[in-house]
Amino acid sequence: MVSVAEYETITADQPRRGTPVQGDWANYLSMSRSDWPVRHIMNRQVLTCSPDLSVGQAAELMVARRCSSIVVVDAASVPLGIWTEHDALALDLPSADAGRRSIADVMTSPVLTVDADLPLEELVLRFRDHGTRHFVVTEQGALAGVISQTDVIRSQGVHAYLTVRDVGSLVEKAPLTVQGEDSLAAVMRTLRDRGGDAAVVLRQGQPYGIITERDILRLVASRREVGTTCQEVCSHPVLSVTSTTPLIQAHDLMEQHKIRHLVVLGPDQVLLSLLSFRDILAGIELDYTRYLQAALDRQHQVIRLGQERQRQIIEATLEGFAEVDREARIVRVNAALCHMLGYQAYDLIGQTPACFCTASSVEQFRSQFSRIDQQDHRSYDLMAVRRDGTQIPLRVNATTLRDEAGQVTGAFAFFTDQSEEQRQRNELQALLEQVSSSNADLESFAYVVSHDLQQPLRMVTSYLGLLTRRYSANVPPEGQEFIGYAVDGAKRMQSMIMDLLEYSRVNRRGSEFQPCDSNDCLALAVREVAVALQTCGGTVDIAPLPLVQADPLQIQRLFYCLLDNAIIYRDLQRPLRIRISAGRLPSGPWEFRVQDNGIGIEPQHNERVFQIFQRLHPRLEPQWGEAGANGRGNGNGIGLALSKRIVDRHHGEIHLESVAGEGTVVVFTLPAAEEGDA
C-alpha cells in the first residue's frame, strides 16, 4: 500500500498546483464555470456500437479506449441505449454465455439524455436526481457526445475548493469491504446489491487492494474464467491517503494514476473510508447550495439598491415619466413631466393622463390604453395642454406592466416634448415644397429650351447640307473637312436636345401607374435592339419576370436603355451575353438584375455614370450600334441617367455592380403590382 506521504516524496521534485487560497467557497465560485454549457466539456469522441455486438466485444472496445461507457446506436446513429462499467455488475459471469450475449439485451434503455446547451450547474443536479454517472448529450436531437461525473470534476477548475478542504470533510461512512478469498461472482453481487462502484479488498484484516467496476469490465473483455477470487483481479497495491490530507493532494494523486478511488486511513492507520470522484462531486454540490443561498441574499440587496437607483434615474431624466394603474390612474410622475406641463406632482397623481390632453387627444389616449392587454409596447403622439393653457406636442412611449403571473397591473410611459421637432418638420416641409416648385420650373425650362432650340438647329443643319451639295466641288478638301465637322456637331447637338427633351418628359408626361407585365415590356425593348444584337452576335437570356405597378411605356424605355448600353460597351473579344432576372425582396419590391459580360467600369465611376451626358470613354467615328477597335461605341451619356430618372419616378433604387474587364450588373427595384390586380 502506497501512502500519500510516499506519494509526496515521489513527486517532491514536481511543481505544486498552487498555494493554499484564503477564502470560502463563494470566492471560488465567483470564478467558476458552473454556467458553462455541457458542450464545452462533453466528450465528442463517443464510443458507439451496433445492437448486435456481443457484450465481450463491447467490453474490449471500452477497455481499449479507456471509456467507462458505450452508446448503442441504430443504423442512423440514433441512441438506443447505453452500457456502462456499472452495468457489468449485472452480468451472470459464471455463465459461459455471459460474454456472448447481445449488448442490446443488457443495455440501459431508454437512454438518459441532456441537451448540449444545458448549464453545468443544472447537470450536477440531474446526476443527483437520476442516480446515474453518465448522460448521452444531444444537439438538435442528434447524438453529440457523452458526459460523466468525472468530466464535470476535471472541468470545473476546483483548485481553490480542493485546497481549503481535507479528505475527512467528505468521507463519513465506512467503506464497502470484501475478503480477498471471496469469489468474484459474490463480490459482484455485493456491489450490485449495495449500489457501490468499488470495494476495499481485505487480506488478513488489512487493505490489500481495491476492486472496481472497471476491474470487472476488464475481466469481461478478457473472457477469462470467473471462478477466481477477487484478490486475483483487484487493483494492487492500494493507494491511500489520511483523513487530514488536503483534497488537492488526493485529487492530484487520482489524476496522476488515472484512478477514481483512494483508501482513506485514520490517524492510527486504520481503514476509515473510501474516497471517490463521486464524493468530491457531492461535496461541491453541497457547498454550492450554501453559496447559492448567500448569493440569493446578496441578490435581494442588489434589487433593493437597483430600485433606489431606478428612482434616482427616473427623477434625473429630462424625459417626462408617469406610471398608471390598471384603471389608468396616475400613481407616480417625475419632476421633468411636472415641469413640462406646469403642474405639481399632487395635481396629477390620482388623475388620468386625459386631464392634460386636448379634446382631440383624449380619444387617442383612451384608444391606446384600451390595447394595454394586447400590445405591451405602444408609441403614439398626442397634444397636451399646459396649466397656463398653451399646447405642447408630446411623443408617448408606453409599456405595459405585468405581475409574475402575466396579469396586467398598469403601465408606464415616457413623454418627449416634440415642439422643436415639429418646428423643424414644418420648416423642412416648406423647403421641400420650395424645392419641388423649383424642380418643376427647371423641368419646364428644360422642355421649353430643348423644344425651341430644335428649329434654329434644323435650319443650321439644312443650310450646311445645302452648302455641301451645291459648292462641294469648289471647296478645297480642308474646307470640306471643316463642313463635315460642323454637320456632325449639329447632328450631335440635335441628338442631345432630343435626349434632353425625353429626359424632361419622364415626370411631365408619364402615364399613371398600373399593373403591367414586365415580360411584355422587355419583349418590346428586345425587338427594338434586335438588329444590333444580330449584328454583334449577342444573345439575351430572360428569366420569368413579375407583374409590377408601373408606367408600361417607361419600363419598356428603361429596358431599352439598359440593353442599348450593354451593346455599346460590349467586349469585342467575346460574344455579348445579357442575362435578365428578378427576385422579390423581403420589404416588398421586385429587384431586377440586368447582367452583361462587357468591358465593365471602374468602381469609382459607379455614381458618375448616372449623371446626364456623362461618358467614360471618348467618342468614336462609328454611329449607333457599331463599335470601334476597342469595342466602345458612341452615345450621348443619357441612357443610365434616363434609367435612373425612370426608376426614381417609380420610387425605386438603382445601382451598379461592376468589375472592369468582366462585365456589369445593373440592379434596380420596382414596386410589385397591388394584390388583386391582374
* CATH number, domain with residue 347: 3.30.450.20
Does residue 237 have a cis bond before it (omega within 30 degrees)? yes
Residues 209-257 pLDDT 10s: 898 888 888 878 876 665 678 888 888 888 888 888 888 888 888 888 8
Rounded to whole angstroms, the Cα distance separating 495 from 453 reads: 12
Give φ, ψ of 408 to 5 degrees: -70, 130
* Cα torsion 92, 98, 101, 103: sign: positive
For residues 141 and 40, state if they share a domain.
yes
Please tell me the distance from the alpha carbon of residue 328 to that of residue 350, in angstroms, as a whole number: 9
pLDDT greater than 70 at residue 507: no
Range picked from 203-217, 252-266, 464-478, 542-556 for highest mean pLDDT: 542-556
Would residue 110 count as lying in a domain?
yes
Please, which residues have CB within 8 angstroms of residue 17's CB and are 6 or more apart in sequence? Answer: 159, 248, 252
Question: What does R_g of the chain's alpha carbons equal in angstroms?
Answer: 44
Tell me: do 599 and 637 sit in the same domain. yes
Q: Are 666 and 527 in the same domain?
A: yes
Distance CA 218, CA 392 (A): 85
Is the same domain home to 516 and 664? Answer: yes
Task: Give the end of a domain, one of 459, 489, 519.
Answer: 489
The reported pLDDT for the residue numbered 151 is: 78
Same domain as 607, residue 474: no
Residues 6+ apart with CB under 8 A from 377: 397, 398, 399, 400
pLDDT tens, residue by residue, 590-619: 999 999 999 888 888 778 888 766 666 555
Q: By residue range, what is the domain housing residue 639? A: 511-670
In a shared domain, residues 407 and 442: no
Do 527 and 617 fall into the same domain?
yes
Please tell me whether the peptide bond between 110 and the residue prior to it is cis, using omega within 30 degrees of 0: yes
* CATH code, domain with 121: 3.10.580.10
Q: Are 457 and 494 in contact (CB under 8 A)?
A: yes
Q: What is the pTM of this model?
A: 0.36
Other CB atoms within a 10 A radius of the CB of residue 10 amount to 11
Q: Is residue 173 part of a domain?
A: no
Burial class of 388 by CB neighbour count within 10 A (0 to 12, 13 to 18, 19+):
exposed
Decide if pLDDT at 325 tops 90: yes
Pair (540, 561) in one structural domain: yes
Q: Which of 359, 380, 414 is the last residue of a domain?
A: 414
Is 32 or 626 the better-scoring residue by pLDDT?
A: 32
- Side-chain half-sphere exposure of 657, counting CA atoms within 13 A: 8
623 and 591 housed in the same domain:
yes
Q: How far is Cα 243 from Cα 176, in angstroms, rounded to an integer?
A: 17
- The answer on pLDDT for 659 being more than 80 is yes
Asked which of 103-107, 144-148, 255-259, 483-487 is least confident by mean pLDDT, the reply is 483-487
**Same domain for 542 and 572?**
yes
Give the residue-averaged pLDDT of 640-669: 90
Q: How many domains does the chain have?
A: 4
Q: Are 326 and 307 in contact (CB under 8 A)?
A: no
Do residues 523 and 457 both lie within one domain?
no
The pLDDT assigned to 504 comes to 63
* CB 614, CB 608: distance < 8 Å: yes
For residue 312, being part of any structural domain is answered with no
- Any residues with CB less than 8 A from the CB of 499 and at least 6 apart, and which? 613, 636, 638, 642
pLDDT at 515 over 90: yes
Highest mean pLDDT among 236-250, 627-641, 648-662: 648-662
Q: Check pLDDT > 80 for residue 443.
A: no
Check residue 94 and give its pLDDT.
63
- Ordered DSSP codes for 522-566: HHHHHHHTHHHHHHHT-EEEE----EEEE-HHHHHHHHHHHHHHH
Would you state the pLDDT for residue 224?
Answer: 63
Do residues 358 and 385 touch, judged by C-beta distance below 8 A? yes
Whether 596 maps to a domain, the answer reads yes
Encode pLDDT of 73-130 as tens digits: 998 888 999 998 888 888 876 665 778 889 999 998 888 999 999 988 788 788 878 8
Q: Which of 156, 178, 201 is the last residue of a domain?
A: 156
With respect to residue 52, please indicate whether it lies within any of the assigned structural domains: yes
CATH code of the domain containing 533: 3.30.565.10
More confident residue, 368 or 615: 368
Give the pLDDT confidence score for residue 523 in this predicted structure: 94
**Domain assignment present for 104:** yes
* Domain membership flag for residue 22: no
The string of pLDDT tens digits covering residues 22-39 is 344 344 344 355 677 888
How far is CA 578 from each of CA 345, 365, 553, 605, 643, rounded to the nearest angstrom? 71, 57, 22, 21, 17
- State yes or no: pLDDT of 516 exceeds 60: yes
Task: Compute the average pLDDT of residues 344-351.
Answer: 91
Grid cell for residue 50: 451496433
Instruction: Identify the CA nearest to 665 among candidates 616, 601, 607, 618.
Output: 601
Q: Are 242 and 248 in contact (CB under 8 A)?
A: no
561 and 481 within one domain: no
| Banded model confidence at residue 638, pLDDT cuts 50, 70, 90 | confident
**216 part of a folded domain:** no
